[in-house]
A and B are shown apart, each in its own frame.
Chain A
């Protein structure tokens, strides 16, 4: 009896042939219930809400770059109809003002980009405009980082990033949208 059970134990192996099937089942379950991560987007910091109307701040006209988007998704930049493709270049030139123009920003610290849209503006257009302005700031940050530290902005230390940001602060103001075109 004892001999027999010892022999049994010797030849007892767990059959691992079905392990693959079990793992396959799990795999298929995960494939079905999950989505591949595609979570990317434009990161924005909203301003805090206050019940009181914001105090009226006076800025010199030359320091404000106003972008209006109407319900037909047309752009009006400083009173001139503009194409979306030209927006980034325009914003960059306005902020840095390389030719010392009288009607562009006094310095990059003073430059303010003001964005106003209508409630009927398509979200796609709004985000495209926002994206172009962000792109302009990012390009300027990168350029400044290259000039000062010889590295891209993303590779700088926190202290260095702060220095670049102080020189080119992202001042993007969003006005309450008008309401002409909402269906």
Chain B
């Protein structure tokens, strides 16, 4: 009896050899389901809710336009009126064609027709600036547009 219990005490180690594999699995999971945060937001954007949603498929074919009121730390420089943000800086509608072109040249030629502009617009913004941006997009020949929205809980 005493011999038996002694032997048990001698090897109490759990093998940790598979731990890295488990963590790697977690890592790959997160790498797949997430996208790199490409721009820090300088405007407040709370997208509205909607029911008829389409998913944006290929991240490389999407460019993002943000519209909202500047965040508190940017209000001194940019004011409190709703502004447009392209990439990581404030912009006006005149900058849209160049922004689109910069994205377009990075995309494979055959897929350029599939480029979608994702408009991430704060729900409290009025339609004036939205209309201006839409007009600029139309003038620049970018017709595929996605109004970003959250699924509605019902």
Contact = CB atoms under 8 A, between A and B. Distances in A.
Interface of A: 16-17, 19-20, 22-24, 26-27, 30-31, 33-49, 71, 117-124, 126-128, 130-131, 134-135, 138, 176-177, 179, 181-183
Q: Is the interface of B mostly helix, strand, loop or mixed?
A: mixed
A48 B149 CA distance: 24
23 contacts: A27-B30, A30-B30, A36-B34, A40-B53, A40-B151, A41-B54, A41-B148, A42-B149, A43-B54, A43-B116, A43-B145, A46-B137, A46-B143, A119-B126, A119-B128, A119-B131, A122-B127, A123-B122, A127-B123, A127-B149, A130-B147, A135-B51, A181-B126
Between A39, A49, A126, A176, the greatest number of chain B beta carbons within 10 A of the residue's beta carbon is seen for A39
Interface of B: 16-17, 19-20, 23-24, 26-27, 30-31, 33-37, 47-48, 50-56, 59, 62, 116, 118-119, 121-128, 130-131, 134-135, 137-139, 141-151
B20 A20 contact: yes
B37 A23 contact: no
Contact of A127 (B20, B50, B143): B50
Contacts of A71: 126
Contacts of B135: 49
A123 B48 contact: yes
B127 A121 contact: yes
B146 A43 contact: yes
Contact of B26 (A17, A27, A44): A27
A23 B138 contact: no
Nearest to B140: A49
A34 B127 contact: no
Nearest to B151: A40
Nearest to B130: A123
A41 B118 contact: yes
B73 to A, nearest CB: 20
A20 B23 contact: yes
Contacts of A34: 30-31, 34-37
B143 A45 contact: yes
